[in-house]
Amino acid sequence: MRAGKLQHRIQIERAHVLVDDYGIGRESWLPILTTRAELKEASTTEFLTGTGEMDNRKAVFLIRYPLVQITTADRLVMDGKAYNIVGLAEIGRRKGLEIRVIAA
């Protein structure tokens, strides 16, 4: 994975329940990882199966393999926009991670 292609700063967040002084629980997202990523273009097969029009809500990010465990319960944030993680795929032998997302 070439460092020059990792142009976007992303943050992976995990949902936590925070309890305030009154004992009321409130769900909030706390960052677990901040890293650089490559935003990959949609493939030709994804374009052709989508009835000819592009879906701007879907994206694929490539990152170096993280030290923390990322799951589909987490979310990805880039430039203040949140994306739900729908798929994860390991690249090589812990060389990188492909994260498929859809806009929240």
Q: Given this model, what pLDDT does residue 51 score?
A: 54
Q: What is the pLDDT of residues 31-57, one digit of tens each?
A: 999 999 999 875 555 555 555 555 568
Least confident of 41-50, 80-89, 95-104: 41-50
Angle value at C-alpha 72, between 3 and 31, nearest 5 degrees: 65
Average pLDDT of the chain to the nearest whole number = 87
CATH number of the domain enclosing 66? 2.40.10.270
Cα separation, 15 vs 87, in Å, equals 17
Q: What is the pLDDT of residues 61-82, one digit of tens each?
A: 999 999 999 999 999 999 999 9
The total domain count for the chain is 1
Given the DSSP bridges, would you call strands 81-91 and 75-78 parallel, antiparallel or unpaired? antiparallel
Angle value at C-alpha 78, between 1 and 43, nearest 5 degrees: 55
For residue 100, is pLDDT > 80? yes
**pLDDT band at residue 2 under the 50/70/90 scheme:** confident
Instruction: Give the residue numbers spanning the domain of 43.
Output: 3-103
Tokens in use for 11?
């943050």
**0.75 surpassed by pTM:** yes
